[in-house]
A and B are shown apart, each in its own frame.
Chain A
Amino acid sequence: MPEDQIPKIAAITERMGKEPYLDAAAQSAGRPRPDPIAVIREFERRLNELRGPGDDTPAMLLTANAEEAVQAACELAAGTPQGDMLIQGVGPAPAKRDYALGITSAQALIASTGTIVLGLDSAAQGYASLLVDRHIVVAHIGLLIPDLPTLYAALGKQAGGKLINIVCITGCSRTADIEKTLVVPAHGPREVRVVLSQSPLDWPALRDALKARLTGP
Chain B
Amino acid sequence: MSGHFRQTSADRVADPALADKLYAATTTSLDKMKHLAAENPDWESLRERARQIKRHTLTHLDEYLDSFVKTATANGAKVHWAHKAEDACKWVVDIAQEHGVKRVTKAKSMTSEEIELNKALLAAGIEPFETDLGEMICQLAGEPPSHVTAPIIHMSMEEIARLLHQKGVIESIPEFLKTDEHAPDRAPVSNETRVAAAAAMVAKARAWLRERFLTADMGISGANFLVAESGTLVLVENEANIRLSTSLPPLHVAVVGIEKLIPKFSDLGTFLSLLPVAATGQRQSGYVSLISQPYGELHIILLDNGRSRLLLDEQHWDLLSCIRCGACMNVCPVYRQVSGHGYESVYPGPIGAVLMPHLRDEPQFKELPFASSLCHACAEVCPVKIPLPQRLLEWRDRIVRSHGRPRFEATAFAAWSWLMRHPGLYHGARPPVSIMNAMTSFFGAAKDWSATRDLPPIAEETFTAWWKKNRA
Task: Spell out A's residues near B (CB within 8 Å).
Answer: 1-10, 12-13, 15-22, 24, 27, 46, 53, 96-98, 110, 112-115, 122-123, 126, 130, 147-153, 155-156, 159-160, 162-189
Contact = CB atoms under 8 A, between A and B. Distances in A.
A113 B284 contact: yes
A113 B232 CA distance: 22
Nearest to B54: A19
B267 interface: yes
Q: Is the interface of A mostly helix, strand, loop or mixed?
A: loop
Given A9-B311, A159-B264, A19 B286 contact: no
27 contacts: A2-B65, A3-B66, A5-B83, A6-B65, A13-B59, A13-B63, A16-B314, A18-B59, A122-B295, A123-B296, A126-B247, A149-B270, A153-B266, A155-B266, A162-B75, A163-B293, A165-B295, A168-B287, A168-B290, A173-B238, A177-B150, A179-B194, A183-B199, A186-B202, A187-B209, A187-B213, A187-B241
B461 to A, nearest CB: 49
Nearest to A1: B81
Interface string B282-311: 111111111111011000001010001001
Contacts of B282: 170
Interface string B222-264: 0000010110100000111101100110000000001000011
Contacts of A182: 195
Nearest to B209: A187
Contacts of A162: 75, 292-293
Given A2-B81, A110-B284, 5 more contacts: A9-B258, A174-B239, A178-B157, A180-B29, A187-B131
A20 B51 CA distance: 11
Contacts of B243: 126, 130, 167, 188
B221 interface: no
Contact of B317 (A16, A97, A130): A16
B167 to A, nearest CB: 15
Nearest to A161: B230
Contact of B239 (A2, A97, A186): A186
Contacts of B311: 9, 12-13, 16
A53 B191 CA distance: 13
A110 to B, nearest CB: 8
A151 B271 CA distance: 13
A3 B67 CA distance: 10
Contact of A6 (B66, B240, B264, B286): B66
A112 to B, nearest CB: 7
Nearest to B74: A162
A122 B131 CA distance: 22
Nearest to A46: B283
B157 A179 contact: yes
Contacts, number: 250
Interface stretch (B109-117, B132-140, B356-364): B132-140
Interface of B: 21, 24-25, 28-29, 42, 45-46, 48-49, 52-53, 55-56, 58-63, 65-66, 69, 75, 79-81, 83, 131-134, 137, 150-152, 155-157, 160, 194-195, 198-199, 201-202, 206, 209-210, 213-214, 227, 229-230, 232, 238-241, 243-244, 247-248, 258, 263-270, 272-273, 280, 282-293, 295-296, 302, 304, 308, 311-312, 314, 317
A95 to B, nearest CB: 10
Contacts of A156: 229, 264-266
Q: Which 5 A-B pairs have the closest CB atoms?
A: A188-B240, A149-B269, A156-B266, A186-B239, A10-B62
B241 A179 contact: no
Q: Is the interface of B mostly helix, strand, loop or mixed?
A: helix
B247 A22 contact: no
A20 B66 contact: no
B227 to A, nearest CB: 7
A152 B302 contact: no
A13 B292 contact: no
Contacts of A2: 65, 69, 79-81, 302
Nearest to B150: A177
A16 B230 CA distance: 26
Contacts of A153: 266, 269
Given A21-B263, A156-B265, A178 B62 contact: no
A91 B230 CA distance: 31
A177 B284 CA distance: 17
Task: Give the one of B269, B273, B288 with max A CB within 10 A.
Answer: B269
Contacts of A16: 58-59, 311, 314, 317
A126 B296 CA distance: 14
B194 A187 contact: no
Contacts of B308: 8-9, 12
A177 B62 contact: no
B75 A178 contact: no
Nearest to B158: A179
A43 to B, nearest CB: 12
B292 A163 contact: yes
A70 to B, nearest CB: 27
Given A96-B248, A153-B269, A115 B284 contact: yes
Given A22-B56, A27-B45, A155-B265, A166 B65 contact: no
